[in-house]
């Protein structure tokens, strides 16, 4: 699921798009922000769908082998155990998965060649052969082979990665989230009763997180000039054109949290944006942002603009 840092990154991405756009209609970009979060769930459903497709391809492969010009005995008796994998069956029948598969048009999703590529790598692996020969049909064992397909094939095969990147622009950024969501799915699926197995959530509390990202986005826009003055006052010795726009946006987001989000501790805000800068901006941006924000924070405290509410939130 998406945590607050990952949600902040979503806000950063849309703020950057807003800054770069000539048509600055806030409502349009608020919609884009929510869509960017929804796309994470769409990628998640597509990944689950791909795992099902691989299991289904077993039958295609078996049929092709049986219809060879001169099929061998093994061709005529291909092992299709993966197609009846219990985890896959529970996933196919899961009501939430079925609803989302329809919502995101899974039937017309990834190219069949991708599924074929994954299966061809899988069928030549020792792990798959051991799975076919094993008599262990426990749900745990059934999940293990599906985990293998994702971790050892889908996640590490460049051609497959490229396919997802072409379909979802944020795939490289959100891949870590998707892995966590898949892990949560494997953990959640413990019952032989279909309705007791739950898909992963997009966040731990989406109603609160939805309000958080929309509020953060709108406040950075609404108080843009004020926040820019704070930054400009502390960067007078810097060439404004040489300050990365990402750094400016990160500092404005941090200032918005410091002033307007009373329930978020100062240390959390400072640490979060410094860490985001390490990943999404220039090599020394985190040090630059840390130094400027420290100075701004001191001024905000002196002016009485930092009003945090709750135990442990006031330094």
Please state the domain extents for the chain. Answer: 28-196, 223-302
Asked whether the predicted pLDDT for residue 162 surpasses 90, the reply is no
Asked whether the predicted pLDDT for residue 108 surpasses 70, the reply is no
Asked whether the predicted pLDDT for residue 72 surpasses 90, the reply is no
Q: What is the pLDDT of residues 261-277, one digit of tens each?
A: 999 999 999 999 999 99
Structure tokens at 208: 């609160």
Structure tokens at 222: 């609404």
pLDDT for 239 equals: 73
Question: In the CATH hierarchy, which fold is given to the domain comprising 223-302?
Answer: N-utilizing Substance Protein B Homolog; Chain A (1.10.940)
Asked whether the predicted pLDDT for residue 311 surpasses 90, the reply is no
Per-residue pLDDT averaged across 232-251, rounded?
87
Per-residue pLDDT averaged across 297-311, rounded?
88
Structure tokens at 266: 């100062």
Asked whether the predicted pLDDT for residue 205 surpasses 60, the reply is yes
Q: Which of these, 193, 205, 154, lies nearest to 175 by C-alpha position?
A: 154
197 Cβ neighbours under 8 A, 6+ residues apart: 90, 94, 188, 189, 190, 191
Which of the four pLDDT bands, split at 50, 70 and 90, describes residue 61?
very high
Q: For the chain, what is the mean pLDDT?
A: 93
Distance (Å, rounded) from C-alpha 41 to C-alpha 63? Answer: 34
Helices 86-93 and 139-149 meet at what angle, rounded to 10? 80
**DSSP letter assigned to residue 202:** S
Contact (Cβ atoms closer than 8 angstroms) between residue 117 and residue 159: yes
Contact (Cβ atoms closer than 8 angstroms) between residue 62 and residue 80: yes
Q: Which of these, 52, 46, 86, 40, lies nearest to 180 by C-alpha position?
A: 40
pLDDT for 69 equals: 85
Q: What is the pLDDT of residues 126-152, one digit of tens each?
A: 999 999 999 999 999 999 999 999 999
Distance (Å, rounded) from C-alpha 301 to C-alpha 298? Answer: 5
Asked whether the predicted pLDDT for residue 282 surpasses 60, the reply is yes
Q: What is the pLDDT of residues 81-104, one digit of tens each?
A: 999 999 999 999 999 999 999 999
Who wins on pLDDT, 148 or 168?
A: 148
């Amino acid at each position: 699921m998406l945590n607050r840092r990952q949600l902040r990154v979503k806000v950063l991405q849309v703020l950057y798009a807003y800054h770069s756009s000539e048509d600055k209609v806030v409502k349009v970009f608020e919609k884009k922000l929510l869509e960017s979060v929804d796309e994470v769930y769409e990628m998640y459903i597509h990944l689950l769908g791909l795992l099902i497709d691989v299991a289904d391809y077993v039958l295609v492969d078996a049929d092709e082998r049986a219809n060879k010009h001169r099929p061998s005995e093994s061709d005529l008796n291909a092992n299709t155990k993966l197609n009846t994998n219990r985890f896959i069956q529970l996933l196919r029948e899961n009501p939430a998965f079925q609803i989302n598969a329809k919502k995101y048009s899974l039937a017309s999703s990834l190219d069949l060649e991708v599924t074929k590529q994954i299966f061809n790598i899988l069928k030549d692996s020792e792990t798959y052969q051991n799975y076919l020969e094993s008599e262990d049909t426990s749900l745990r064992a059934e999940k293990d082979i599906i985990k293998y397909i994702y971790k050892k094939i889908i996640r590490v095969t460049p051609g497959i990665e490229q396919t997802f990147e072409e379909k979802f622009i944020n795939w490289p950024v959100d891949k870590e989230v998707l892995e966590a969501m898949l892990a949560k799915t494997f953990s959640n699926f413990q019952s032989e009763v279909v309705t007791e197995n739950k898909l992963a959530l997009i966040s731990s509390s989406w109603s609160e997180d939805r309000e958080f990202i929309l509020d953060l986005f709108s406040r950075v826009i609404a108080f843009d000039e004020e926040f820019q003055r704070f930054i400009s006052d502390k960067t007078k010795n810097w060439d404004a054109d040489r300050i990365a726009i990402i750094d400016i946006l990160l500092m404005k987001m941090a200032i918005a949290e410091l002033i307007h989000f009373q329930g978020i501790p100062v240390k959390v805000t400072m640490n979060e944006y410094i860490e985001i800068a390490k990943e999404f901006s220039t090599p020394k941006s985190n040090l630059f942002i840390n130094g400027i924000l420290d100075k701004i924070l001191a001024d905000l405290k002196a002016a009485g603009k930092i009003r945090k509410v709750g135990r442990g939130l006031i330094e």
